[in-house]
């Protein structure tokens, strides 16, 4: 459901035709798209055409809900409105979710006002009220929208699942205003973290010594090094998000440094790693893991830019130092091993 | 413990003189930073602020100010190495790579 956006479509231009008709059914095809979004497969192609949609059979008194044109956002809204008739105004957020798009201003006042006029919303409904997702607020100046279009902005709940209750009562409970970051919410983000981590130049560089050590050791023992590196990687991208609320300190990179070196020490107990290897790998893993966990700040619902700016000043020099020490130690032990 | 981050440098400020107690900030804040007092709002939980900018943007009297942005390390690392603004990959930059319109 929902038109997929392509260059031939009028997705970013004017909507000439009548509002698109949609329902609340999530098809197998939709579900596949959701999986793709979570796994990062063609993530930026998961857009729907922006414009005005008819969910069920809305009339001129039906509510108008605004969302972004990311497939996950769009489907989340229509899925939760089963049995309701409503107008859905989809803004062109370039296939990005509402919160991130609001931060960038693509889910913004200008775009909203433009869409209202383009879709001739004034003629479709007799009331002058819009329901926006609360997390769209960083991009919207509610009073400016009213001034420009005559439509009054009402911020709905954070989560689309609360929409039926919000529509029924017209009010938001304290709970509906709050954002969470549950274990499940953290877990669904990890495939993207793994991908993101793999892409970084840093992890590309740090894998080289691991492979090198694996090669100069026997091929028989190579799988241990593979597990060693993979484990470090998964510690930073999966174990850390899972354990997030358990750390006694607030620094993300520090958590990664501790987890990374702990992982190497745990593995060294059960494998044949020499003390030289354990020592140099601990430093390298601390550097890599700290970098990966620091990156998770971008995925959370509770980190602030001023905090990240503060952490980065200490984290980057620390991570570079740790990795360098690990590398130098590794090279030192290697050379000594060959020449002594 | 818990989902807390370093908020010691949070830039959120409230000018109580300008506040008209409309409660718009309470409406848009996802972390319950504000509470409503008799004649104005109060910043109750500054340690929960993520500087998303929703409150300042929607404050009709500009009583609230905050240096807003994304709390994302990648964004800062990008700007450090490539120069330019602090912005993560999830920006319209992708639009240039894969033009839609």
Query: Cα A51 to the chain's mean position, in Å?
Result: 24
Which residue's structure tokens are 């607020």?
A137
A302/B1 touch (CB, cutoff 8 Å), yes or no: no
B30/A96 touch (CB, cutoff 8 Å), yes or no: no
Nearest CA in chain A to B96: A94
Question: For residues A97 and A160, is the Cβ–Cβ distance under 8 A?
Answer: no
B73/A172 touch (CB, cutoff 8 Å), yes or no: no
CA distances from B47 to A138, A248, A292, B9, B60 (A): 19, 16, 25, 10, 24
Question: For residues A272 and A220, is the Cβ–Cβ distance under 8 A?
Answer: no
Q: Give per-residue pLDDT as tens, A191-227.
A: 988 888 877 655 555 566 565 665 566 544 667 777 7
pLDDT above 70: residue A185: yes
Q: In chain A, which among 149-188 make CB contacts under 8 A with chain B?
A: 155, 158, 172, 174, 177-179, 181
- Cα A74 from Cα A97, distance rounded (Å): 9
**pLDDT attached to residue A8:** 39
A107: Cβ contacts below 8 Å, ≥ 6 apart: A68, A91, A93, A98, A101, A136, A139, A140
Mean pLDDT computed over A258-281: 87
Q: How much is the pTM?
A: 0.85
Highest averaged pLDDT of the listed ranges A23-27, A147-151, A205-209? A147-151
Residue A147: pLDDT band by 50, 70, 90 thresholds?
Answer: very high
Mean pLDDT computed over A54-64: 94
Cβ-Cβ contacts under 8 Å, B101 against chain A: 7, 11-13
- Cα A230 from Cα A203, distance rounded (Å): 11
By percentage, how much of chain B surpasses pLDDT 70? 78
**pLDDT attached to residue B35:** 95
Cβ-Cβ contacts under 8 Å, B27 against chain A: 134, 155, 172, 177
**pLDDT attached to residue B93:** 42
A172/B27 touch (CB, cutoff 8 Å), yes or no: yes
Nearest by CB: B32 against A45, A177, A311: A177
- Interface with chain A: mutation pick from B50, B56, B87, B96, highest number of A CBs within 10 Å: B50
**Strand order from edge to edge, sheet including A152-155:** A20-22, A51-55, A86-91, A64-68, A129-132, A152-155
By percentage, how much of chain B surpasses pLDDT 90? 57
- Cα B41 from Cα A224, distance rounded (Å): 59
By percentage, how much of chain A surpasses pLDDT 90? 63
Q: In chain A, which among 271-290 make CB contacts under 8 A with chain B?
A: none
Cβ-Cβ contacts under 8 Å, A172 against chain B: 27
Distance from CA of B84 to the nearest CA of A (A): 15
Cβ-Cβ contacts under 8 Å, B79 against chain A: none
Mean pLDDT computed over A126-141: 96
Q: Give per-residue pLDDT as tens, B5-46.
A: 999 999 999 999 999 999 999 999 999 999 999 889 999 999
Q: Give per-residue pLDDT as tens, A78-132.
A: 999 999 999 999 999 999 999 999 998 899 999 999 999 999 999 999 999 999 9
Nearest by CB: A106 against B10, B68, B92: B92
Indicate the range of A137-146, A181-190, B52-61, B80-89 predicted with least confidence: B80-89
Residue A17: pLDDT band by 50, 70, 90 thresholds?
Answer: low
Cβ-Cβ contacts under 8 Å, A40 against chain B: none
Question: For residues A271 and A225, is the Cβ–Cβ distance under 8 A?
Answer: no
pLDDT above 80: residue A150: yes
Distance from CA of A340 to the nearest CA of B (A): 41
**pLDDT attached to residue A336:** 78
A117 lies within 8 A of chain B by CB: no
A103 lies within 8 A of chain B by CB: yes
Q: Look at A299 and B76; give whichever has higher pLDDT.
A: A299
Q: Look at B96 and A37; give whichever has higher pLDDT.
A: A37
Q: Give per-residue pLDDT as tens, B51-63.
A: 999 999 999 999 9
pLDDT above 90: residue A58: yes
Q: Average per-residue pLDDT in chain B? A: 82
B98/A44 touch (CB, cutoff 8 Å), yes or no: yes
A7/B48 touch (CB, cutoff 8 Å), yes or no: no
Handedness of CA A168, A174, A179, A182 (dihedral sign): negative
Q: Average per-residue pLDDT in chain A? A: 86
Cβ-Cβ contacts under 8 Å, B77 against chain A: 312, 316
pLDDT above 80: residue A53: yes
Q: Give per-residue pLDDT as tens, B63-72.
A: 999 998 877 7
């Amino acid at each position: 459901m929902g038109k997929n956006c392509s260059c031939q479509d009028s997705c970013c231009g004017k909507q000439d035709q009548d509002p698109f008709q949609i329902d609340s059914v999530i098809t197998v095809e939709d579900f596949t798209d959701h999986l793709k979004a979570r796994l990062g497969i063609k993530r930026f192609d998961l857009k729907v055409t922006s414009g005005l949609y008819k969910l069920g059979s809305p009339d001129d008194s039906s509510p108008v809900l605004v969302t972004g044109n990311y497939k996950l956002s769009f489907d989340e809204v229509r899925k939760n409105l089963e049995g309701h008739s409503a107008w859905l105004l989809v803004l062109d957020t370039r296939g990005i979710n509402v919160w991130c798009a609001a931060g960038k201003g693509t889910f913004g006042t200008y775009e909203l006002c433009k869409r209202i006029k383009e879709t001739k919303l004034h003629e479709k409904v007799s009331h002058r009220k819009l329901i926006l997702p609360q997390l769209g607020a960083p991009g919207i100046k509610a009073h400016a929208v009213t001034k420009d279009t005559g439509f009054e902005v009402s911020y709905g709940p954070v989560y689309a699942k609360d929409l039926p209750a919000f529509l029924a009562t017209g009010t938001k409970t304290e709970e509906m205003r709050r954002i969470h970051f549950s274990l499940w919410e953290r877990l669904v983000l990890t495939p993207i973290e793994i991908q993101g981590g793999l892409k970084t130049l840093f992890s590309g560089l740090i894998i080289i010594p691991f492979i090198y050590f694996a090669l100069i050791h026997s091929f028989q023992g190579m799988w241990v090094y593979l597990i060693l590196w993979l484990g470090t990687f998964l510690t930073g991208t999966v174990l850390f998000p899972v354990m997030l609320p358990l750390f006694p300190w607030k620094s993300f990179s520090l958590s990664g440094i501790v987890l990374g070196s702990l992982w190497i020490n745990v593995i060294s107990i059960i494998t044949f790693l020499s003390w030289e290897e354990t020592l140099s790998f601990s430093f390298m893993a601390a550097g890599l893991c700290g970098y990966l966990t620091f990156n998770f700040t971008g995925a959370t619902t509770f980190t602030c830019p001023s905090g990240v700016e503060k952490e980065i000043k200490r984290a980057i020099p620390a991570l570079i130092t740790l990795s360098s020490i690990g590398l130098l130690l590794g090279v030192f032990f290697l050379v000594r091993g060959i020449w002594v | 413990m818990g989902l807390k981050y370093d908020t010691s440098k949070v830039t959120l400020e409230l000018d109580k003189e300008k506040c008209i107690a409309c409660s718009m900030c309470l409406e848009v804040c996802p972390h319950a930073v504000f509470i409503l007092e008799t004649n104005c709002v109060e910043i109750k939980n500054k340690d929960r602020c993520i500087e998303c900018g929703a409150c300042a943007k929607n404050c009709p009297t500009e009583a609230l100010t905050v240096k807003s942005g994304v709390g994302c390390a990648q964004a800062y690392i990008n700007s450090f190495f490539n120069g330019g603004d602090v912005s993560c990959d999830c920006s319209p930059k992708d639009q240039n790579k894969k033009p839609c319109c």
